[in-house]
């Protein structure tokens, strides 16, 4: 018992004696961290995964005691290009039941469900005037974004002119979709890190003088012809494909039940690792556009639903830190938290290593961290996201 107390004193001394600047360097509320990530993403500087970002959003929504007031996070000063139509975000399903309800809602009204892969890129608006590309901008705050027309003009994949077949072109054709990097083209030039392909796109949009080589590999996947004259999504897909937008027709499917949707989701999860574009889930929408409410001013409209691939990382807030002793007498810190599901496993704790590693990390109760699976079976700490000003844990060994 005396030996354990000595070890406890050593551990507490090591942790508490860390310089305040070291321990508090990353002290941010979840709100502040999300705001910082939004700004970094808009500036093309982020390297955090969507799984971690979504995990922070989920953690924030679960908090009963809201961390101060929600921040008014202004992205970047040069988001000054007004969109023709508001650019919202897709609702994201977090359960199979939500998918089932969405399908049933469409089927009850006699419609079919359209399924497409969810491309992992950067949301942008393209405007064609009488068939000629005249404007391109990032989503920004939904109302205004950054002008990226010079960048899009450098792409060798995005149509610069639309040609009509059978019906005259509109004065203005407005498309919302995803700007992404063509991995099948960039791979030839040694782009090996597919995980950061989306970050590369964000970085290109933030450059005043975009790299012409990388810009040539950009492509656009239209997920909405905003001012389409058609009442059927299938008609939009046919026309967009005819205009030269790559992959959209061959990657559009019609699903009538959950089993079909799950099968396509698994198919595209595997396909994403093979190229030619990064994907992070599937998108469902009504084939008959009048079946679901379409409110252009809603932040998350009802006419479509995204179902992302199972996350590879999760975000947790540390609830308790305790120590275990191995057969050799080595002390190991265990970080405990509320249960999360990762890789089909229910996880409530991870090992953070011994005294030396804990001194290096300076993790405390209340900190927010991401965790990942190692070898598809063992959960391990990934990175510290938000630190707290709570005192260092001193639970007896």
- Check whether the bond before 181 is cis (ω within 30° of 0): no
Q: Can you say whether residue 168 is alpha, beta or left, with left for phi > 0 and alpha for psi between -120 and 50 degrees?
A: beta
Q: Tell me the pTM.
A: 0.75
The closest alpha carbon to 75, from 38, 22, 121, 117, belongs to: 38
- Given a contact cutoff of 8 angstroms between Cβ atoms, the answer to whether 72 and 141 are in contact is no
Rounded Cα gap, residues 372 and 381, in angstroms: 6
pLDDT reported for residue 227: 92
The closest alpha carbon to 333, from 298, 388, 281, 381, belongs to: 381
123 SS3 class: strand
Residues 6+ apart with CB under 8 A from 342: 311, 312, 313, 314, 371, 372, 373, 379
Rounded Cα gap, residues 176 and 199, in angstroms: 19
The DSSP secondary structure of 204-258, one letter per residue, reads: HHH-SS--HHHHTTEEEEEEEETT-S-SBHHHHHHHHHHTT-TTTTTT-EEE-SH
Catalytic residue among 3, 25, 60, 118: 118
Rounded Cα gap, residues 56 and 54, in angstroms: 5
The token pair that represents 321 in the structure block = 């830190």
Active-site residue, 349 included: no
Rounded Cα gap, residues 379 and 343, in angstroms: 10
Q: What is the pLDDT along the chain (397 residues), one digit of tens a residue?
A: 454 444 444 444 444 333 332 333 344 677 777 777 777 666 556 667 777 877 887 887 776 544 444 444 544 445 688 999 999 888 888 788 999 988 988 888 778 899 999 998 999 999 999 999 999 999 988 899 999 999 999 999 999 999 876 567 889 999 999 999 998 888 655 555 445 677 788 888 888 888 899 999 999 999 999 999 998 899 999 999 999 999 999 999 999 899 999 999 999 999 887 878 889 999 999 888 776 555 444 444 567 899 999 888 899 999 999 999 988 889 999 999 999 988 878 999 999 999 888 888 888 898 999 999 887 678 989 888 888 754 444 322 2
Cα–Cα separations (whole angstroms), residue 36 to 31, 42, 59? 9, 10, 16
């Amino acid at each position: 018992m005396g030996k354990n107390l000595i070890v406890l004193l050593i551990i507490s001394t090591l942790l508490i004696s860390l310089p305040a600047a070291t321990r508090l360097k990353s002290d941010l509320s979840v709100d502040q961290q999300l705001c910082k990530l939004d700004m970094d993403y808009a500036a093309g500087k982020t390297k955090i995964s969507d799984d971690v970002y979504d995990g922070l959003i989920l953690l924030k929504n679960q908090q009963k005691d809201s961390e101060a007031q929600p921040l008014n996070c202004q992205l970047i000063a040069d988001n000054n290009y007004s969109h023709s139509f508001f650019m919202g975000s897709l609702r994201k399903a977090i359960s199979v039941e939500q998918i089932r309800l969405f399908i049933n809602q469409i089927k009850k009204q006699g419609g079919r469900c359209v399924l497409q892969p969810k491309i992992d890129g950067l949301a942008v608006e393209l405007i064609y005037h009488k068939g000629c590309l005249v404007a391109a901008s990032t989503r920004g705050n939904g109302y205004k974004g950054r002008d990226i027309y010079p960048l899009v003009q450098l792409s060798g994949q995005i149509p610069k002119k639309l040609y009509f077949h059978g019906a005259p072109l509109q004065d203005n054709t407005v498309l919302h979709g995803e700007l992404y990097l063509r991995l099948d083209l960039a791979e030839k030039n040694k782009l090996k890190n597919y995980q950061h392909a989306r970050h590369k796109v964000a970085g290109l949009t933030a450059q005043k003088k975009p790299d012409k080589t990388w810009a040539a590999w950009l492509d656009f996947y239209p997920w909405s012809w905003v001012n389409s004259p058609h009442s059927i999504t299938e008609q939009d897909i046919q026309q967009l494909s005819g205009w030269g937008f790559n992959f959209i027709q061959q990657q559009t499917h019609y699903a009538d039940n959950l089993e079909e949707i799950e099968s396509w989701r698994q198919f595209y999860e595997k396909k994403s690792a093979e190229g030619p574009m990064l994907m992070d889930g599937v998108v469902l929408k009504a084939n008959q556009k009048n079946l679901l409410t379409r409110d252009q001013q809603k932040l998350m409209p009802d006419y479509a639903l995204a179902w992302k691939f199972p996350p590879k990382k999760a975000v947790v807030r540390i609830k308790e830190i305790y120590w275990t002793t191995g057969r050799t007498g080595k002390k190991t810190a265990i970080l405990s938290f509320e249960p999360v599901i990762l890789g089909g496993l229910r996880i409530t704790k991870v090992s953070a290593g011994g005294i030396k590693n804990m001194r290096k990390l300076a993790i405390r109760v209340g900190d927010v961290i991401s965790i990942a699976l190692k070898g598809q079976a063992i959960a391990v700490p990934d990175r510290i996201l938000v630190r707290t000003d709570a005192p260092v844990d001193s639970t007896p060994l």
